[in-house]
Structure formats: structure tokens, C-alpha cells
Structure 1
Amino acid sequence: MSQETKYTEDNIRSLDWKEHIRMRPGMYIGKLGDGSSADDGIYILLKEVIDNSIDEFVMGSGKSIEVSIQGEKVTVRDFGRGIPLGKVVDVVSKMNTGGKYDSKAFKKSVGLNGVGTKAVNALSSYFRVESTRDGKSASAEFSKGNLENQELLNETSRRKGTKVSFVPDELIFKKYKFRNEYVSKMLKNYVYLNPGLTIIFNGEKYFSENGLKDLLEDYNSKDDMLYPIIHLKGTDIEVALTHSKTQYSEEYHSFVNGQNTTQGGTHLAAFREALVKTIREFYGKNFEASDVRKSVIAAIAIKVMEPVFESQTKTKLGSTDMGGDLPTVRTYINDFLKTQLDNYLHKNPEVADKLLRKIMQAERERKELAGIRKLAKDRAKKSSLHNKKLRDCRVHLSDTRHENYLETTLFITEGDSASGSITKSRNVNTQAVFSLKGKPLNSYGLSKKIVYENEEFNLLQAALNIEESMEDLRYNNIVIATDADVDGMHIRLLLITFFLQFFPELIKEGHLYILETPLFRVRDKKETIYCYSEEEKQAAIQKLKGKAEITRFKGLGEISPNEFVHFIGDDIRLDPVMLDKEMSIEQMLEFYMGKNTPDRQKFIIENLKVELDIVEEL
């Protein structure tokens, strides 16, 4: 007779706030990660602290914020009003405590409802908050959410404001490293959205006078803009837009209450619709929507009362109303563009003329591509039924309610042996594999036509689901997984060329990575260490002292699925592909894929030392 498990009051336990956050961090900060991706948890922690300082600025208190990151320690100092001294501990350690429940004080606040700094506190091995106001100062120190120390100074000459320092807990964020490029991008967005605010990051000053206009100028070279940026501002809305001369795809930067909604939402859908409607009405022609929006580069920021987001990390707006007496988000954006953009085009006929020519050109190109596109779509549909190239996963980036949606990854591999190893060792929920047959085509200088004519590119585009727009992207991370030899490097370069040429916003928005795989395995009977460089190999040999067995991996196919699981699991090492701000996409493509210049030979010799060593050994 089976023994029945007793279910009594003893089985039910209530987690306190910090235990709950530490047990389910994904619910509060999205994914964890190691800092190689812009949406990794360590940046969300920083964002939650800065959001509170931004709210102070918005309320008219404190014009500058100082941010310092030294190794693992982050410090954020604002010169706002300072947390009320008697509430310093409560504000960072009691759920549902904060100033943002009073909607009059924080009508269009960016911070989480009383959760933000508590999550940072619970997920940090060291957390210190210090508030100064009325010539007095109070501070409290915590470790993993537990109060360790607190002080009250009745007299201080410090300037008023709040200072928060924290060190993300290594038990939760494994082997993490802050990347300045990601922090810099986040801080720049804050100043674009808050003209008049100064942020100083590790001594470097960020300031914006022209808001979203500065953002577009910072991301795109002036030479690539078809016409000067159209910059429109209203009470709760700001828009900046232009068209690119060379880019095929649409590119949008969208914000709600200062939050970068990387996955768009109701406001971005409304903007895309209103843009087409306004332009159709201005020219009195029923243009195809895709022709109007082709090559558009735009930014939109709106302020909404009590916004509703589709995920805890607020990357997609779900609200349909602006709040208060205002109309719906859709009507509000539509009315604004209808008036402001229409006025602008009437006052600037030379811009209206350039825009019209651009739309007509897009229409011609679309018609030329129509036949090829239909064939390609039919081919993609047929092959998706039995697509040997794509082994899909269960969760996709659009599943924002799934707690692991940010971890969705597509590995692009070469050959059957490598894709076999990854396929057998992957996480079928969040990791998909696309296998290439040999070297992809060099797409440098070719037109979009080639994406449809080349079966491999067409199937890759279909797998990513980015033909119509980036909003439908199916995976958050696109990872190039090739061998670390000359052929692997070449395939890597050809794939980056494809993305730069046709889908540069994938790179601009931080979705493209290179998978780092170990070059050596050093082991003895007790321990196995995987090494990613010569230095790591030497350190492993010293650590194992005795007779260590050293294996050199020459290709991904040599690594067994049992071993591969280590390199694409919790300990995955990804190297983000980033654009050089000093170089336009055209210049980069010319440099890497154009005629073989002495400059490029010099660059390869200086930068590919590891790979050259490998070639010599092979």
C-alpha cells in the first residue's frame, strides 16, 4: 500500500521578499547573462537605480547624475531631494514601498512600482544606499538583501541627493563583466530623452540639446541621410525621422516614459501606421505601406499615464490609452503626425520632393522583385515543412509572457558535424540551429534581389522572420558558431557582411554574436578545464600540476555533444558584433570586403593573431 504524502500547514511556506527575488530573478529582471548582451541582468540592475535618479530630474530636482563602474562595483549618485532619512531602509528593502504610488508626484514615472531597487538589493552581494537632505545624512548597507549596517549623521556638508553602490552577486550572475559600450548607449538614451540632464560616466560627460534628433545623428552618418532630420515635438510626444540612402530595412528607436521599448508595442505600431497615412494624404496617392517605410530611420518617445507593459522588463508597450482625458495612443499619435508632419512637408518642398522620389524608387524595386519574391516565398514555405537547415526551438522572442523569451537563440553553424553537436546538446526550449552548406555567398555590393535568389539566404531570412520588419524577429540572439580556423573566420565574415548589407539594425540593436568555443581541453583524472586562449591553457597546466593531458580542438565537430553542452549552457561565452561609430556601414563593408588594401592586410595581421597561430599549427 503506497504511503500518502501528508499535506499540512508545514508544507506551505511564505518566502520573504528577498528570497522570492533571489529564487526567481527572471521575473524581476528578465534574463541573467554575463554582460555580453545589452539586456543582461546586470544592466537592468543599473537601469533600475538610474531610473530613480531620472525621476528626480523629471520632478525638477538635480540636473546631473554621476555613474561610476570600477570592475564589478557600480555607483550612482544624484543631486535630487534625497530619500526621506527615516525611510532609507524601507525604500530599498520593503516591497510595495516607494514614492511612486502617489500618482500626482510621479505621473509619468519610469521606475518600477516600488520593486526596482529592492531587486537590485536582493541580487547584490554588496548594496549601500546613502541619502543626504537638510544637512543630515542616513546610510544603510546590505548583503543579498540582508541589512548589515546603518548610520545616521546629524550634521554633514555633503550636497543633498542619493548615492547607491552595489556589486551584483556572482552566485546569480556568473563570471559577469560590464561592457562600457552597453552602459554608454543606455546613458545616452537617458540624455536624449531628458534634454538639460548631464550624466557623467567614469569621467565622460553626456548631454543632449536636441533630444531624439541627436539620437539619430549619433547612430547614423549624415552622408547616409536622404534629407535633414525632421524633428517634431508635442506635449507628450517627440518624433525624429529621416530616410537612409543605402539601408534596405526600417529602423526604429521607441520609448515610453523614458523606457527604451526595444520590442516596440502599441505606440510603435501606431507610429508606423500614422506615418503611411499622413504621407499618402499629403501626396494624394495610395502608396504601398512598405514603399513609404522602406529605409526609414525614426525615433519616437511618448509619455503615458500608468503604462501597461507586456513583460516585467518593459520592452514592449501593451497600453492602448494615453491616460487622463487624452485619447487612445493610436489616435493621439495619428493626430500629431497628421498635423505636424503634414505642416513640415508643406513648408519644406525640397524634402517632400526627395521623399517622393525615394517612395517611387522603392515601388520600382518592389515590382522588379515581385516575381522572384513569390518564387522564394513558395520555396521557403515548401522547405519549412521539411526544412533540414532549421531545427527550431519552442519559445520565440515574441512570446513576451514567457519568462525565458529573452534567451531565445539561433545558432548559425557550418557543416553537419558541428550542427549535429549543437543540436544534440542544445536547450530545445530556447535554442534553435540553422546549418549552412559550405561557404555562404559574398553579398558585398549586391542588391536585395540576391536574398531571394540565394536559397540559403532566403531560408535564413525566413527562419529569422525579418523580411517585413524587425518587430517579428523570432530570436533575441543570433549566434555565428564557426570553427576558429581560416575557413571558419571567412564564413563568419561573409555572414556579418550579409547582415551589414541587408539587416544592419540587427547589429545596431545588439542581436548578433560570435560563439566563443574552447581551443584546448586540459585534464587529469580528477578535473577537466576548457581553455579559450593560450594564457588560459598555461594557467590550467599550472593548476593541474601533474601530468595533464592536453587536447587541441581543431573544429566544432570534434567536440562531443556531452562536452558541447558546457559551451552553450550557463557558461556560454558570446562576443557581440558591434558597429564602429566612427565608420559608416558602407565604409566598413568596403574595408572588410572591398579590394584587398594594405590597410586591411595590416589590420588582419594585428588582430587575428590567435587564428594565425591556429593556421600554423594545422
Structure 2
Amino acid sequence: MEENKKVVSYSEDDFTTLSWDEHIRRRPGMYIGKLGDGTYQDDGIYVLLKEVIDNSIDEFVMGAGKRIELTIDEGVVTVRDYGRGIPMGKLVDATSKMNTGAKIDSDAFKKSVGLNGVGIKAVNALSVDFEVTVWREKSTKKVTYSRAKLLEETDITPSDEKSGTRVRFRPDSGLFKHYKYRDEYVVEMVKNYIYLNTGLTIVYNGTSYSSKEGLADLLKDNMTGDPLYPIIHFKDTDIEVVITHTNQYGEEFYSFVNGQNTTQGGTHLSAFREAVARTIKEFYSTRNFDYSDIRSGMSAAISIKVIEPVFESQTKTKLGSRDMGPNGPTVQKFVGDFLKKELDDYLHIHGEISEVMLQKIQSSERERKAMSGVTKLARERSKKSSLHNKKLRDCTVHFNDPKAKDPDRTSIFITEGRSASGSITSSRDPAYQAVFSLLGKPLNSFGLTKKVVYENEEFNLLQAALNIEDGIEGLRYNRVIIATDADDDGMHIRLLLITFFLQFFPDLVRKGHVFVLETPLFKVVAPKESIKNKGFSSTRRSKKKSKNEDDLPTTIYCYSESEKQEAIKALGKKSHITRFKGLGEISAPEFKELITEENIKLEPVRMRREDNVSDLLEFYMGKNTPSRQDFIIDNLTVDEEML
């Protein structure tokens, strides 16, 4: 058999050298993560925005410019700062020569977010329009590009404008298909900047944002439970920490490095979690508390400044540095020593707060011990069932595997009913997509203790499948996707599952891991030649191809009544329309296309402080049926087409 293998030629002709801009455009994932259209917070258009704002933030950190103006209008982004302005003689180099920047070998920017001079060039390469204007020392200059190709470089001319830099760009819609910036994500980004830079004002589309209390304001605005005691706040040159407890399950931690929101944590967050629990345990030295009991219900944030930080990717969402800088202490020692001194002293001085904290920890300890028996039995049961768990059809790549390729693609679909589970199971990508099948409606867990997670077989098996019993650090799937029918029963199951996650594993939602699968309500089919609007983009087309492709019908999947009408208008009144009543009616070949990485349509489940989660769950899932009935009657609308 070996003798029959064909040897592929390999010579100098096989080598290709790409220019820097071609490399970015061909491999954008290496520079900005995924592309996306703006639906998700980690889509590339937000990374482009952040790369530009980071440069303005660095100017503020250096004491130049306390105001940044940001506007986004019909996909065009403009960022104007009042810093020192890029030196005009280096304007072209700074915007179009890779690894060129003032931060690479400069003490002035040793604790900057962007160190390698790549970010602004990536924005240039991935934008169809890119313009940088500089005002400096009573002069101005402008450069204009398209996809990194220089179109114009003006001469230096006099100007009375205040010093600073303005960057204007339009992401390339050929790469970022049908992209749109979501205000909620941009505002969250802006707020994180002002929390970390007290004294800075950012004006976004006319609304001004600033912060006086730094990370304490972040916690007040974001934590989804009410604090049991006033927020503990410590701040020094290279570190800022805030801590409190709520009555919620789980841990709610936010972490930052040099102003970068490290959503996936890293060495600094690991050091903080360990140090804060150890310091509190040592303070209550007469009691041998578990770290899990100490951190249960804790809401906290940490921000540190590291010299030349090492991140695990260009998008900088996880810190890899083990040291604070050359010849500096380790991150673990720096964070540990700071908390040991500040938090221990604080708890000794503020006896009323240490007493409330003690009561919370003891409450968590009592609940854990009360569950110990049922927990042990449930673990044994889940271990046995995991060997032949008929509810789970696992995938081969997992999110918690450090050696996994593209772990962000890992997903688990939570389905209800055999037909829906069967369609998804037979059409999924077995490498990255798992399926967990429910039998009927899950239990309404609102108001119940965590004991129900272990006593209820489905909840226990789901917890085991996700590997989240001890926290989400070991989460096996990046996306937990609720895949139910769009009818009343399906909606009810969605609510029950979301209630379960919000009650017992809120970190799953906080960290953006929970989604609802949007499935089409209609399929509109017409001969391809009947398409009247070539630019139709509000729905999804079938990508089936064959040798005689022109004879195949074009299929458009519609997710609403309005999209169906658009499809009929585009494909012709004689189009064939199919109404999907449930997931089970979508065939496996159709599902295979709808859940590909390119086509899958997911709606993220998000937690916001203003939602007041406990009140929402009490209203929608509690025992206040008359109140809900009044609400439904007062807000009832009737679809005229159904009359």
C-alpha cells in the first residue's frame, strides 16, 4: 500500500511571499480574531474600533488629552482625540508599515495595551476607506487609504485646530458581510475605558461618559445582584481592586490588563481568585473555610498594569505573562502581596463588614454541607451515565482543551424531543457540535436551592456534560445553544433553561456563553432565474451547487413574516412556501446548512444590571400568576393577518 502513495512535488515554486496587507486580508483571524457582522461582542468590527481607541487612550495615560470623541454613522467610524498627534514625518510609516510605532522600544509606553505597531495597520488593511488626520504644533496633515493602498498624502499646512489625531474608517463589507455596530456593545466598551481611566471623558454619538470611582462604578453598574456590604476598593500605582458579595450563586469577576478587558482572564485573574480566598481564609483563621465557600456570590474586579504584557492572541483577551515585567515580581506574588496587606488590614479595621462577609461565607458553607450526601450520589450517577449517556451526543473538540484547534467553535445544542434531536444530530459537525436531548419540559428551578441540580437527573447530567459544577473554568463548549421550537411550548422551555442558568450558573450568561438558536419559520423556493433583486440579503440562501446549477431552485429561509414577504417579492409570487411548525420538520440536509459556522443564526442571552435579574425571575417564573395575567392582558397584541 505504501508503494502506491503519490509523492507531491515540492520546490522553490511552491513558496509565496505576501505583502503585509495581503497577509492581514488573507488571514484576518491572526490579527482580529473572527470577522463576523457585529452580532457578537467579539466580532472583528469591534476589535477594529478598539485598536483605534487604544491609541487615543495611550495618549490620555501619558497626560495628553482628556477627551475622546467617537461617532458611528451608517457603518463609518470616526475617533478624534486631543493628544499630541502622530509626528507628521512618520504618519505614513505609522499607518502603513508593519511593526512601526512609538511603543515598540519606548519607556513612555511600557505599560501600553498595543506594543507591536500592528493594530492600526490591521484597521487600514481591513477597511475600504481609511483616513488619518493629524494636528500638531499649529500644523496639519492627512493620509487616505483604501484596503491599505495609499490614495492621498497631503502636504503639511497651517492649522489652528487643537492638537490630536482623527481616524476615520469604514470596514470592508466584502469581508465583514452586512456588518452593523450594535450600540449596546459599543457603549459597554466605552464604559470600560472610562472606568479604567478616571478623569477621561468619551463622547459617543453625542452622549458623554465619565467615571469618578473607577472600578467601583463598574461593579455598581454591572453586578447582577445587590451588594451585601459596601464595595471594598483598593488602588495603587499598578493595581486596582474592588470586592463585595451578593446573594447569588457563582462568581462574578471582571479583569483588565493595561486597560484591556481580558474577558478570558489569564494569570492575573487566577492569581486574584487564589489570593483573595487565601487572604480571607487566613483572616478567619479559627475556621477552616473552603475557597469555594469564600468566593461563592463574590463580585469583584481587578485591573493591573504590566510592562510589555504577553497576551495569548492579537485580540488580547487572555493574559499569558507570568511576571510584572523584566526583573519584576511574578504576577501571582504581586497580586498576593497587595491583597494580603490591603484586604487583611481592611477587614481588621471594618469589623461590621467582616461580620457580614462571615455570615455570607457560613451560609454558603452550610448549603454545601447540606448537599454533600446528594452531591456524592449524583456525581456517582453522572459518572456511570456518562459512559452510556443517551442524552448527550458529544463532539471531539472541546473548549477546555488547551491543545484544541479553534476551540471557540465548540457548541452544544440543547434540544427537546426526538425528532429535533435527530435532525440536529445527523446534520451537525461531529468535531465541534454536540447535542444534549431533553425529554419534555425541564423543572422550573426558580426559588429552589442548588440541591435540585443534583436531585434532578436532567439538570445533573446537563451540569456534568458542560463540566461546570466547580465553575466555568472547565467549560467544555464555548457556546451553549438552546434549540427549541418557536411555538409556545418551545418558548416556555427556553425560559425554564435560562432560569436554570441564571439561578445556578450565572457566569455562563455573564461571560456570553448562552445563546438561543434562531430557526426559520418559512422556506421560500423559486427558480433561480426569477430572482429580481440580486442584492437581497435579509435572509439566507441555499448554497447547493451542481453541474447544472442554473436548473436548481433558489431557497431563501425566512425568520419572520416580513422576511417572507421580501422573499416572495424577490423570487416571484409563484414561489413555493413551506411553513416550519417545529425543528423536527426541518430535514437533516437543511439543518446541516443552517447550523454551519457561516450560516448559524444565534441570539445571545445577556445579563445587564438594569434588568434586575432577581426581580425578572420573580415576576416571570415566580408564584405571582395574577400579576402575570394582568401584564399579558395589558400588553396583548393581535396579528391582523391572523384575523
The TM-score bracket by the shorter chain reads over 0.9
Cα gap change, 1:581/1:274 in structure 2, threshold over 3 Å: closer, same or farther? closer
Confirm or deny that 1:183 pairs with 2:191.
no
Give 1:123's match in structure 2, choosing from 109, 112, 126: 126
SS in 2 for 1:152: coil
Give the superposition deviation at 1:11. Answer: 2.2
When structure 1 is superposed on structure 2, of 357-366 and 305-314 the one drifting more is 305-314
Contact 1:31/1:407 (8 A) holds in 2: no
Contact 1:125/1:169 (8 A) holds in 2: yes
CA distance in 2, matches of 1:137, 1:598: 66
Hey, what does 1:41 align to over in structure 2? 44
Give 2:555's match in structure 1, choosing from 528, 531, 539: 528
Matches within 5 A, 1:152-231: 152-220=155-223, 224-231=226-233
Hey, what does 2:266 align to over in structure 1? 265
- 1:543 aligned partner, one-letter code: A
Hey, what does 1:332 align to over in structure 2? 334
SS in 1 for 2:610: coil
Hey, what does 1:572 align to over in structure 2? 600
CA distance in 1, matches of 2:392, 2:275: 36
SS in 1 for 2:319: coil
1:561-604 deviations in Å (ceiling 9; x for gaps): 22123322212222222234323211110121124556645665
Hey, what does 2:539 align to over in structure 1? none
Hey, what does 2:609 align to over in structure 1? 581
When structure 1 is superposed on structure 2, of 498-507 and 50-59 the one drifting more is 498-507
CA distance in 2, matches of 1:397, 1:422: 20
Contact 2:526/2:572 (8 A) holds in 1: no
Give the superposition deviation at 1:430. Answer: 2.8
1:427-466 deviations in Å (ceiling 9; x for gaps): 3333222221111111111111011111111122222222
When structure 1 is superposed on structure 2, of 341-350 and 413-422 the one drifting more is 413-422
Matches within 5 A, 1:209-608: 209-220=212-223, 224-245=226-247, 247-284=248-285, 285-399=287-401, 404-526=406-528, 527-569=554-596, 570-596=598-624, 600-601=628-629
CA distance in 2, matches of 1:123, 1:487: 44
- 2:509 aligned partner, one-letter code: I
1:519-558 deviations in Å (ceiling 9; x for gaps): 1111113221111111111111111125111111111111
When structure 1 is superposed on structure 2, of 276-285 and 441-450 the one drifting more is 276-285
Aligned residues: 613
Give the superposition deviation at 1:207. Answer: 0.7
Give the superposition deviation at 1:613. Answer: 8.8
CA distance in 2, matches of 1:95, 1:602: 62
- 1:384 aligned partner, one-letter code: S
Give the superposition deviation at 1:10. Answer: 2.7
CA distance in 1, matches of 2:479, 2:635: 25
CA distance in 2, matches of 1:436, 1:346: 50
CA distance in 2, matches of 1:605, 1:432: 40
Contact 1:345/1:352 (8 A) holds in 2: yes
CA distance in 2, matches of 1:363, 1:426: 42
Contact 1:26/1:403 (8 A) holds in 2: no
Confirm or deny that 1:84 pairs with 2:87.
yes
- 1:257 aligned partner, one-letter code: N
Contact 2:223/2:252 (8 A) holds in 1: no
Cα gap change, 1:111/1:365 in structure 2, threshold over 3 Å: closer, same or farther? same
SS in 2 for 1:100: coil
Cα gap change, 1:478/1:342 in structure 2, threshold over 3 Å: closer, same or farther? same
Give the superposition deviation at 1:492. Answer: 0.7
- 1:310 aligned partner, one-letter code: E
1:480-502 deviations in Å (ceiling 9; x for gaps): 11111111111111111111111
CA distance in 2, matches of 1:52, 1:25: 20
Cα gap change, 1:603/1:83 in structure 2, threshold over 3 Å: closer, same or farther? farther
Contact 1:409/1:476 (8 A) holds in 2: yes
When structure 1 is superposed on structure 2, of 44-53 and 87-96 the one drifting more is 87-96
Contact 2:222/2:608 (8 A) holds in 1: no
When structure 1 is superposed on structure 2, of 151-160 and 492-501 the one drifting more is 151-160
CA distance in 1, matches of 2:269, 2:524: 51
- Tell me, which stretches of 5 or more residues in structure 2 are unaligned? 529-553
1:151-206 deviations in Å (ceiling 9; x for gaps): 23412222221111222222222222211111111111111111111111111111
Contact 1:266/1:320 (8 A) holds in 2: yes
Q: Percentage identity across aligned positions?
A: 62
CA distance in 2, matches of 1:88, 1:297: 44
Contact 1:310/1:401 (8 A) holds in 2: no
CA distance in 2, matches of 1:294, 1:3: 60
CA distance in 1, matches of 2:87, 2:231: 44
Give the superposition deviation at 1:141. Answer: 2.0
- 1:66 aligned partner, one-letter code: E
CA distance in 2, matches of 1:425, 1:576: 22
Cα gap change, 1:332/1:128 in structure 2, threshold over 3 Å: closer, same or farther? same
When structure 1 is superposed on structure 2, of 35-44 and 336-345 the one drifting more is 35-44
CA distance in 2, matches of 1:74, 1:410: 35
CA distance in 1, matches of 2:5, 2:258: 58
